[in-house]
Amino acid sequence: MKLLRRALGWIRRRRLDADLAEELEFHRSAAQAALERDGLSADDARAASRRALGNLTLAREDARAVWIAPWIESVWQDARYAARTLRRERGSTLVALGALMVAIGLNTAVFSVFNAFVFRPWPVRDANRVVNVYNLSRLDLRKRAGGGPQGFSLAEVEYLGAHARTISDFVVLGRAGSGRLDDRDDEARLACVGGTYFTALGVPIAYGRGFDAGDAGPDAPPVVVLSDPCWRLAFGGDPSIVGTTIRLDGLPFTVIGITTPAFVGTGMGRMDVWLPLTAARLLRPTDPWVRNVLGKPDNCCTPLAGRLAPGVTPEQAQAELLVLRRQFHPDRAPEEAAVDLRGTTLAADPRANLSSLFVPLFTGAALVLVIACANVAHLLLARGLARRREIGVRLSLGAGRGRIVRQLLTETLVLVTAAGALGVAIAAWLPLQVIERWAAGWTALRVAPDARVAAFAIAAGACAWALCGLVPALQTTRSSVVDAVRDTPPRDGLGVPPPRRASRRARPDRRWSGPRSGVTCSASAPWIPSRTSKRRWC
Amino acid sequence: MGLTNEPPDLLPGTLDLLILRSLVRGPLHGYAITERLKTVSQDVLQVGESSLYPALQRLLLNGWVKAEWGASENNRRARYYTLTAAGRKRLDAERDEFERLVGAIQRVLRLA
């Protein structure tokens, strides 16, 4: 409530000012009237009332400060002045803006890809309740027959499914492969998955339905589900394809459903067609994985996921699965029955090797940011030197150095904020274009800016602000008042004329002849101690 | 929230309390508040505008009084302050607190 009133006060601050001024004037005139009643003449009473009231402006500002903290007002003032300054020096502003925009945009783009790659769970219903179940037993890893890494044998999956209470449904993720869809030239990517895949995960379906346990039985007619991009590409996005028969590697399958565009698989790669595990035995009867894992239920292994039962934590589920595995393998040592539950993001995947890809990417992007900031810092330094007279005058009028540093930092902040906004726009657009052009065929990556990307962009902007703002602000305000004013050439009407005997090389006027020569001349000047004014310009 | 320069020796928060109390009988403008405080306190409390108006703004901001422009006794535009319901509640609370404090100080002066 109080905050609301304060905000209203800010919006109506002109009105507030006018009210206060009028109110204080009324107060004064009332005091004057009282004095006149006491016998003073009108003029004397007016003067006396003024004296009695003291500094009216001060009183007004004190009263006004109750509503609007003075620092907010001065920050606002700084920001407006900064915007004006930046507009006035259009050339250097555009250069700085461009450099920072590219640097922040690039960093944010890399991060948004990283974000989509690493932190996004599977695009299924209630994804944070879905876990990958990993087998940590060395015995199984040794025995595995070309199957998915660190999974379970089908017999064990069946045992766990029958007894586990903490996992409501297990999902056999099976195996991916490729095959020819009808008479198309390019290969379609196939995923052979368990019968619970669509129902337990809650895969979003646009038309028809996903297959269920009934379609996965040994005698069920062969069925497939198509992904949205595959359906659009191969069948022109015609919904009537549902229920018709297509051929995979020459064998007939009935299309029973099409996923929504949001779902193209649970892995990194993009899937075109999903089939029940039984279909794999039809399509690839001689494949070693099909023979060894599907053909012999005791053989390891197939990757496994599961949905946690309501109210169950992953730790509870892990504890139960550990017990069940020991029961299933009574002959094994306890550590050979170990099991691990992880979320479905890549960040949670113990096998993912993220640093080899992203460390170089982020290093490169960070370097671009540092280089851009160094350049912008140089530009600002040069500009600050060209503005030494302005700064010197302000210092000599009594402005504190802190106040001027703040002013210069505000200018940089306005610059960085504008560049950051443009950079984020780039970051939202660029990865989509890159994926669209070069990776649309195979990746399941969905890049979209979210709160995490926004936080990263703000952090990158803050880094850029510190990197390119601090040094120029501190450096250009370091010169003493006397120096700044004395350096001022006579035509500015503020300083002492420079000595006539100055050598031809040391022409102080050069520096003021125009912004460009000023910049080139002073770019390396700030680190030279400014004691002898004659040598400084050599 | 301390007072600004005058009167310097009032307890913190007392001015707000006095202003709220002076508005109980009806709306007053700023000058009338100082007059009221001055006459009732028999010239002891002379509140300067440099503390009165910030205090009034503070009360406005907290919603304890509301301000309206109206005509003064001699027909000039003046800003009248009215006590709100929240202000009345605040006044009661502040008064209890103030009396407790003053009682404590008196006890110390008598007995310590």
Taking an 8 Å cut-off on Cβ atoms, the answer to whether B56 and A2 are in contact is: no
Q: What average pLDDT does this structure show over A58-74? A: 80
Query: Among B30, B48, B61, whose Cβ lies nearest the Cβ of A67?
Result: B61
What's the pLDDT score for residue A149?
Answer: 53
What is the pLDDT, as a whole number, of residue A519? 36
Q: Which of A11-15, A193-197, A330-334, B50-54 has the highest mean pLDDT?
A: A193-197
Tokens 């004057």, residue located: A32
Going by pLDDT thresholds of 50, 70 and 90, the confidence category of residue A420 is very high
Q: Is the pLDDT of residue A521 over 60?
A: no
Size of the A and B interface in Cβ pairs below 8 Å: 66
In this prediction, residue A528 has a pLDDT band, given cuts at 50, 70 and 90, of: very low
Of B49, B62, B67, which is closest to A24 when you measure between CB atoms? B49
Look at A157 and A449; give whichever has higher pLDDT: A157
- The answer to whether the Cβ–Cβ distance between A2 and B30 falls below 8 Å is no
pLDDT value at residue A441: 65
- Residue that wins the pLDDT comparison between A145 and B3: A145
Please give the pLDDT value at position A506.
Answer: 43
Q: Which residue has the higher pLDDT, A425 or A267?
A: A425
Mean pLDDT rounded to a whole number for chain A: 81
Task: Please tell us whether the domain made up of B14-111 is placed in CATH 1.10.10.10.
Answer: yes
Query: Encoding tokens for residue A147?
Result: 């199957």
According to the model, what pLDDT value does residue A479 have?
62
Query: Is pLDDT above 70 for A524?
Result: no
User: Smallest CA–CA separation between B12 and chain A, in Å?
Assistant: 16
Contact A30 B48 (CB under 8 A): no
Main-chain dihedrals φ then ψ at residue A269, nearest 5 degrees = -80, 160
**Is B46 touching A (CB cutoff 8 A)?**
no
pLDDT on residue A492: 45
Least confident of A34-38, A335-339, A427-431: A335-339
Q: Which residues of A215-241 are buried (b: 16+ CB within 10 A; e: fewer)?
A: bbeeebebbbbbbbbbbebbbeeeeeb
How close A25 gets to chain B, by Cα (Å)? Answer: 10
Identify the pLDDT of residue A494. 45
Name which of A150-164, A166-180, A191-205, A438-452 the model is least confident about: A438-452
pLDDT grade for A340, boundaries at 50, 70 and 90: confident
A513 Cβ contact list (under 8 Å, min separation 6): none
Of A189, A295, A207, which is closest to residue A248 (Cα–Cα)?
Answer: A189
Interval A154-179 mean pLDDT: 90
Residue A259 one-letter amino acid: T
Structure confidence at residue A258 (pLDDT): 94
- A9 → chain B, closest CA residue: B61
Domain boundaries, chain B: 14-111
pLDDT digits (tens, 9 = 90+) for A246-258: 999 889 999 999 9
Q: How far is CA A242 from the centre of its chain?
A: 40
**Chain-chain contact of A26 with B30 (C-beta, under 8 angstroms):** yes
Give mean pLDDT, residues A506-526. 39
pLDDT of residue A533: 38
At residue B14, the pLDDT reads 85
User: A342: closest CA among A309, A317, A324, A310?
Assistant: A317
Burial of A64 (0-12, 13-18, 19+ CB in 10 A): buried
Query: Average pLDDT, stretch A399-417?
Result: 89
Q: Specify the pLDDT at position B92.
A: 93
Q: How far is CA A375 from the centre of its chain?
A: 24
A478-506 in b/e burial notation, b at 16+ Cβ within 10 A? Answer: ebeeebbbebbbeeeeebeebeeeeeeee
CA distances to A18, A38, A448, B40 from B29, in Å: 16, 21, 59, 16
CA angle A431, A436, A441 (to 5 degrees): 125
* pLDDT, average across residues A153-169: 91
- High-pLDDT (> 70) share of chain A, %: 86
Kindly provide the b/e burial profile for residues B12-22, where b requires at least 16 CB atoms within 10 angstroms of the residue's own CB: ebbbbbbbbbb
Question: End-to-end distance of chain A based on CA atoms, in angstroms?
Answer: 63
When pLDDT is cut at 50, 70 and 90, the band that residue A187 belongs to is confident
The pLDDT score that the predictor gives to residue B50 is: 80
CB atoms within 10 A of CB A37: 9
pLDDT of residue A93: 92
Lowest mean pLDDT among A310-314, A346-350, A506-510, B29-33: A506-510
- CB of B74 less than 8 A from some CB of A: yes
Share of chain A above pLDDT 90, in %: 28
Q: What is the pLDDT of residue A11?
A: 82
**Lowest pLDDT segment from A38-47, A66-75, A145-154, A169-178:** A145-154
- Report the pLDDT value the prediction gives residue A503, as an integer from 0 to 100: 45
Q: What confidence score (pLDDT) does residue A120 get?
A: 82
Mean pLDDT of A310-333: 90
10-residue mean pLDDT series, chain B (112 residues): 46 84 91 90 84 88 90 86 93 91 92 82
pLDDT at A343: 86
Closest CA relative to residue A20, chosen from B12, B74, B56, B41:
B56
Chain center to CA of A486: 49
Judge whether residue A504 has pLDDT over 50: no
The residue of A12, A27, A38, A53 whose CB has the most chain B CBs within 10 angstroms, and thus the best one to mutate to test that interface, is A27
Q: Which pLDDT value is given to residue A532? A: 37
- Tokens standing for B95? 């008064």
